[in-house]
Structure 1
Amino acid sequence: MAWNAVFKIFVASLCLFSGSSTAFPFSKRQTTSLDIDTIQKQALANAYKVLDGTLSDGMTRGAGCTKSTVAIRKEYGDLTKDERTEYIRAVKCILSKPSKLPAGKYPGAKSRYDDFVVVHMNMTPSVHGTVSNFHRAYETALKTECDYKGYQPYWNWGKYADLPASPIFNGDNWSMGGNGEAVAHKGGNIGRAIPAGPGGGCVKTGPFANTTIHLGPLSPTMDPALKIKSNPQRDGYGDNPRCLRRDVNNYFTTQFLRPVDLASHITSNPTIGKFQDTLQNDTPQKAAIHGAGHFSIWGDPGGDVYVSPAEPVFWMHHGQLDRHWWMWANYLEAEIKTRTSQYEGYPNSAKGKPTDPQWLDVTAPTGTNGLPSNKIFSTTSGPFCYLYQ
C-alpha cells in the first residue's frame, strides 16, 4: 500500500491509503535540469512579485498581506535554538489543554491536541480531492490558544543525510524528541517488506520523551511482534494510553526523498492531477514522496494512516508537503495563475469542487468553519499571508 492524501496539502492533508499508479512522462514545456534550491529561489522571487502586484496568481488578496507583513515559514533546522524552544513550548501547551470535543463521544480525546487527531480520523475515509485547511488550523491554535509567536516550521526531506541525527530527531533539548529506543523488530510491510530502522521502541530522550498517545491504533503498520496495544473500541476512539514510538530511519530519505528526486517531481508533472497522483502513489520502482516521509518516522502512531497527527512531527512533514506544492505552483512565472487554482480529485473518487466547504469541527479557527476551498488556495490570499524560505 502507499500513503494517499487529500490534496492540496498542507500540513495536513488528510491521509488515505491507495494503490499504485504509473509514472508520468516529462513535459516538454518544462525545464527538468533545475535543482531544488533554484526552484525554491524562483518560487520565492515570483511569490514576492505577486505580493507587489507585478505578477498575478488570480487570487483575491487582502490589503493586509504585503511584502512587509508576509510571514516566512522556515525549516526546523534553520530555526534558532530560542525559536525551536518556543515552538516546542507551544506544542506541549496544546498537549496540556483539555479537549473541546463533546464529553464521552471520543473517550481517547484527552487534550486539545487530540481534537486534531479525532478530526483527522473522522475525515480520512470520506474526503477526496479537496483542499485542506487542517494544518493551517493547527498553527492558528498554537498562536491563539498558546500564545505562539512564531510560524509553523517544516521538515525538508532532502536536507539530512542521517535523519536520526538531524536537529529534528537527535534527542537534544531543541529537538522534537529522539528516535525510539532500539528494539529488535522486523520493520513493517506496506505492500512490500521494509527493513527495520534503528528504533522501534518508546521515545525516551528530548522534549517529547514519555509522551502518552491515547487514540488508535486503527491501521498500524509496524511489526506485530512489538505488541502495540489494540484500542478498546473498533473505531479507534477509545482511550488507549501507551508510549510514543518511533523508528526514524534513512531507508526512504536516501532513495526516494533526495533533492534530485524532489526537483524531478516538481519539474516533470505539469498538471495538478499528475502532480498529486505521483506524489501519493507508489510505483513498483519507487515509494511515493508523501508516504516516504511518513514512513521515515514510522512507529506508533506515525505509521498509522488515521492516527498519524498524534506524532508531533506530522505537522512539519505536512508543512513540507505544502511547501513542495507551493514551489510547484510558483517557480514558473508563466504558470502561476493556472497552477494556483488547479483543482482535481482522484481517478476512483468524485472530483473536488473549488466551492467545497472546509468543515473542521472544533479545530477550525473562529469564523472559518465551512470556508469554501477556493478561498484558501493561495498562501497569500484569503485568511493566509505566508511564504516559504
Structure 2
Amino acid sequence: MAGVAVVNALVASLCLFSGASAWPFGKRQTLSIEDIQKQALANAYKVLDGTISDGMTRSGCTKANVAVRKEYGDLTKDERTEYIRAVKCILQKPSKLPAGKYPGAKSRYDDFVVVHMNMTPSVHSTANFMHWHRYYIWAYETALRTECDYKGYQPYWNWGKYADLTTSPIFNGDEWSLGGNGKSVPHKGGFIGRQVPAGPGGGCVETGPFANLTIHLGPLSPTMDPALKIPSNPQRDGYGDNPRCLRRDVNNYFVGNSLKPANLASHITSNSAIGKFQDTLQNDTPQMSAIHSSGHFSIWGDPGGDVYVSPAEPGFWLHHGQLDRHWWMWANYLEKDLKTRASQYEGGTNWMNPNSAKGKPTDAQWLDVVAPTGKNGIASNQMFSTTAGPFCYVYE
C-alpha cells in the first residue's frame, strides 16, 4: 500500500481524475441514451436465444433464467426495503478476514472495503478497471443473496435520471432510500485537482435507513474540506479502526454537467475501442469532469470521496452498478460490433506505474475472502460479457 505522501499525491486523481484524453463530445449525437439501452437489451436477448453471436461461450445462461438488474427508483418500495434489509444484514455479519490483520474490518461489509483498498492500484487506470469492478459488484450481489437471503439483484443509479439528486429515491432520506444527505454544515467543498463548490450537505447522515452508520476504515485519500476535521486513521495504511459517522455532500454540480443524458450517450457512441472508452470514462479534462469520478463526487463525503475506501459508502454499489451498465450498453448496442467489443482488453496493470506490464485477457482477477465459493482468480476474459463466464444478468 502506498505511503501517506503517495496517497496525498493521489487526491487529485480520485477515480482517475487526471488525464489528457480529449473529451469525445465533438461528434454529432444521433442516439439517445434510452435508444442505446433499448438496442443493447434487444441484442443481449438475441445473443441468449441464439439469433446472433458475440463469440462468447455460454453454459447455462439463457433468456429464461437471466437475472435483470433495475434502476433503484424503478424498484417497488417492497423491493427497496428488501435491498436495504440485505445491506444491513451484511453490515452486521462478522468479518472473514484474518483476526487482527485489519483492525478496522468489523463486518462482512468491511471485508469488501478492505479488498478494494488492497486492489486499488491494480484496478484503476489499468486494463482491469471495468472487468474487476464487474466481478466485484457481482460478488457483493452474490453475498447479499447467499449470506443474507436477498431475493433480488443489485440495483443501479441511472446517472442522468435525476436533475435533483438530493430529492431522488436514492438519497431523499425516506425509509426506502439509502439515507439522506449529510447534515448541512459550512464547508468549502472539495479539492480534486481543482476546487469544486460545496453541496448542501457535508455533515453526518442523520435521516433514512443508514442514518448514524459508523465507518471504521480509512480515510486514506480524503477529499473533503480539512476544516471539517474528519479524524485521521490511526494507521498509515488506513486499515486501523477509526469509528466515525458516514458523511455525505450529495450535490447536483456533476449531474448538471458531465452526467447529463446527452453526454452519457455521446461517450458511448464516440468510442469504438475499449482503451479510449475506459480512458475517457475515467480521466478529467479542463473542459469536463470524468463520468466515473463525477458519480462518486455527486455523493462525495467520507468515505464516498476516497478512492480507496469509497465502497464503505452504501451508494457506491449503485454507482458502480451503473458504471457496469454503461459498459454493457457500449458492448451490446451495435449488433455489427458485438464480437469485437466482447473481446477487447487494453491497458497496463498498475496505476502507480505508467510503464507497468500490459494486461492480458488471461490475467487472473482476485477477490480474496469476498469471492463467491470457488470463484476466486477468474481470468479477465471470463468477464467480457454479463451473460457468459460466471455471470448471467442484463440491465433493464
**TM-score interval (norm. to shorter):** over 0.9
Residue deviations 1:65-121 (CA, integer Å, cap 9, x gap): 111111110000000000000000000000000000000000000000000000000
1:175–1:206 contact (8 Å) kept in structure 2: yes
Q: Give the counterpart letter for 2:44 in structure 1.
A: A
What is the rounded CA distance, in whole Å, between the counterparts of 1:194 and 1:305 in structure 2? Answer: 17
| CA shift for structure 1 position 349 | 3.8
Query: By how many angstroms is 1:136 displaced?
Result: 0.8
Aligned to 1:387, what secondary structure does the other structure show?
Answer: strand
Secondary structure of 2:88's partner? helix
Q: Please, which of 371, 385, 388 is the counterpart of residue 378 of structure 2?
A: 371
State the distance in 1 between where 2:23 and 2:229 align: 40
1:3-41 deviations in Å (ceiling 9; x for gaps): 87xxxxxxxxxx75452223166799xx83100000000
How far is 1:2 from its partner?
8.3
**1:224 is matched with which residue?**
226
CA contact (8 A) 1:3 1:16 kept: no
Q: How does 1:97-116 map to 2 (within 5 A)?
A: 97-116=93-112
Contact 1:256/1:287 (8 A) holds in 2: yes
Give the superposition deviation at 1:376.
2.0
Partner residue of 2:117 out of 114, 121, 124: 121
C-alpha displacement of 1:126 = 3.3
Amino acid across the alignment from 2:31: L
1:27, 1:269 within 8 Å by CA — same for their partners in 2?
no
User: Are 2:258 and 2:291, in contact at CA under 8 Å, matched by a contact in 1?
Assistant: yes
Question: Given the alignment of the two structures, is residue 84 of structure 1 paired with residue 80 of structure 2, yes or no?
Answer: yes
Structure 2: where are the runs of 5+ without partners? 1-9, 349-353
Structure 1 185/27 Cα, relative in aligned 2: closer, same or farther at 3 Å? Answer: closer
1:351: Cα distance to partner?
A: 2.0
Greater shift, 352-361 or 143-152, is seen at 352-361
- Report the count of equivalent residues: 376
Number of the residue aligned with 2:341: 339
Shift of residue 348 of structure 1? Answer: 4.9
Task: Give the deviation of 1:125 after TM superposition.
Answer: 2.0
1:284 maps to 286
User: Which deviations, in whole Å up to 9, do the C-alpha atoms of 1:111-138 show, x marking residues without a partner?
Assistant: 0000000000001123432121111110
Shift of 1:256: 0.8
Could you tell me which of 190, 193, 199 is aligned with 2:192?
Answer: 190
Q: Which runs of 4+ in 1 moved over 3 A?
A: 1-4, 15-18, 24-28, 346-349
Indicate if the aligned counterparts of 2:11 and 2:223 stay in contact, CA closer than 8 A. Answer: no
Q: 1:280 to 1:25 in 2, by over 3 A?
A: closer
Corresponding residue for 1:8? none
Alpha-carbon offset, residue 358 of structure 1:
1.5
8 Å CA contact retained: 2:325, 2:395: yes
Give the percent of matched residue pairs that are identical in Structure 1 and Structure 2. Answer: 79
**Number of the residue aligned with 2:5:** none
Match of 1:40, as an amino acid? Q
Q: Which residue of 2 aligns with 1:254?
A: 256
Partners of 1:357 and 1:180 lie apart in 2 by: 39
Structure 1 residue matching 2:122: 3-state secondary structure: coil
**Could you tell me whether the CA contact under 8 Å between 1:2 and 1:282 is conserved in 2?**
no
**Equivalent position of 1:383 in the other structure:** 390
Offset at residue 301 of structure 1 (A): 0.1
* 1:138-184 Cα distance to aligned partner (Å, 9 max, x none): 00100110000000000000000100000000000000000000000
- Among candidates 305, 308, 318, match of residue 306 of structure 1: 308
Shift of 1:340: 1.3
Q: Residues 26 and 160 from structure 1, CA distance in 2 versus in 1: closer, same or farther, beyond 3 angstroms?
A: closer
**Superposition pairs of residues 85-234 of structure 1, within 5 angstroms:** 85-127=81-123, 128-130=126-128, 131-132=131-132, 133-234=135-236
Could you say what secondary structure the match of 1:218 adopts? coil
Amino acid in structure 2 at the alignment position of 1:361: D
Give me the whole-angstrom Cα distance separating, in 2, the residues matched to 1:213 and 1:348.
35
Verify the 8 A CA contact 2:23 2:285 in the aligned structure 1: no
Task: Provide Cα deviations, 1:312-369, integer angstroms capped at 9, x if missing partner.
Answer: 0101000000000000000000001110111111565432111111211100000011
Q: Is the 8 A contact 1:256 1:289 kept in 2?
A: yes
Q: Secondary structure at the residue paired with 2:142?
A: helix
- 1:90 and 1:25 map into 2 onto residues whose CA distance is 39
1:264 maps to what in 2? 266
- Match of 2:117, SS state, is helix
2:50 aligns with one of 38, 48, 53? 53
SS at match of 1:154: coil
- The one-letter code of the counterpart of 1:117 is V
Distance 1:302 1:74, change over 3 A: same
Aligned residue for 1:123, secondary structure, equals helix
Q: Secondary structure in 2 aligned to 1:257?
A: coil
Question: Which one-letter code corresponds to 1:55 in the other structure?
Answer: I
Aligned to 2:322: 320
2:351 alignment partner in structure 1: none
Q: SS state of the match for residue 121, structure 2? A: coil
1:11 corresponding residue in structure 2: none
Aligned to 1:12: none
Aligned counterparts of 1:354 and 1:334: Cα–Cα separation in 2 = 22
